[in-house]
Amino acid sequence: MRFDVLTLFPEAFAAFTGHSIIGRAVERGLISVHCHDIRDYSTLRHRQVDDVPYGGGPGMVMMCEPIFKAVEAVQAMGEAPAPVVYLTPQGQPWAQPEAETWAAGDRGERMIILCGHYEGVDYRVREALVQHEYRIGDYVLTGGELPAQVLMDSVARLRPGVVGTAESVAEESFSVALDRKREYPHYTRPAEYAGMAVPDVLLSGHHAKIEAWRRGQCRS
């Protein structure tokens, strides 16, 4: 799957794409992340991309022209139009069912993510270019870069081969397949630490009993 990110701060994604599970997925070609600097599409002096809002008010608003030009250029990089996602506090809550839908390719194998800043983007961008609006929580951040990474991580890890085993993804908390029950407790060595012991059933080697115990630990 390909992610195209439109941002004022492409450098903010260097660590995200260069390390851990996502970094390895990029290296192996399982996903690709392409960051595009919106300032490159400004025709104004000093690559300006924001201006004061009409009607007055605090803050600055990202202008529509650079974003329109950026989306047009990035759309041309693919064989077919890709859905544009805008990250905004007014958007639909991002949740596991959405991640699973995108990861399954139901909306295509490509996503364009627009990261807002300041007081947001000129509303004409949202009216004409954006198909999906999401928020990752009921709070306001300084920009869309962190939400974009959350979104990409939650989708990418569901793609085949990105996480070690399919079972580890299927059994996770909030998985639709498990009706979003809570995940059971996990333990590893040592078997006892500071007076706290691993439950005996997990050391028994009896797979049926272990499975029953784990299901009993999951609470809605």
pLDDT tens track for 86-98: 999 999 999 999 9
* Cα gap 135→90, rounded to integer Å: 7
CB 41 within 8 A of CB 100: no
Residue identified by tokens 């390719």 is: 105
Which class would CATH give 181-217?
mainly alpha
For 26-43, what is each residue's pLDDT tens digit? 999 999 999 999 999 999
Please give the average per-residue pLDDT across 167-185, as a whole number: 59
Residue 178 has pLDDT above 70, yes or no: no
Confidence of residue 188 (pLDDT cuts 50, 70, 90): very high
> Which whole-number Å values give the CA distances from 197 to 202, 203, 206, 218, in the listed order?
11, 11, 18, 20
Percent of the chain scoring above 70 in pLDDT: 90
What per-residue confidence (pLDDT) applies to 184? 86
Please give the average per-residue pLDDT across 146-150, as a whole number: 98
* Cα gap 132→126, rounded to integer Å: 9
Map residue 135 onto helix, strand or coil: strand
Phi/psi for 148 (5° steps) reads -60, -40
CATH 3.40.1280.10 domain position(s) in the chain: 2-156
CA 50, 57, 146, 93 torsion-angle sign: negative
What per-residue confidence (pLDDT) applies to 170? 57
Residue 174 has pLDDT above 50, yes or no: yes
Please give the average per-residue pLDDT across 174-192, as a whole number: 73
The architecture of the domain spanning 2-156 is 3-Layer(aba) Sandwich (3.40)
What per-residue confidence (pLDDT) applies to 218? 81
CATH 1.10.1270.20 domain position(s) in the chain: 181-217
Residue 167 has pLDDT above 90, yes or no: no
* Cα gap 193→208, rounded to integer Å: 26
> What is the average pLDDT value for the chain, to the nearest integer?
92
pTM: 0.86
Q: Which of 52-56, 148-152, 178-182 has the lowest mean pLDDT?
A: 178-182
Hey, what amino acid is at 153?
D
For 104-138, what is each residue's pLDDT tens digit? 999 999 999 999 998 999 999 999 999 999 999 99
> Which whole-number Å values give the CA distances from 149 to 4, 39, 178, 195, 201, in the listed order?
12, 20, 25, 39, 38
Hey, what amino acid is at 14?
A
Please give the average per-residue pLDDT across 136-155, as a whole number: 96
Find how far residue 19's CA is from the centre of its chain: 16
Determine if the peptide bond prior to 83 is cis (ω within 30°): no
Residues counted in the chain: 220
H helix intervals, the chain: 14-18, 20-27, 64-75, 96-103, 123-128, 145-156, 166-170, 200-203, 207-217
Tokens representing 90 are 């007014």
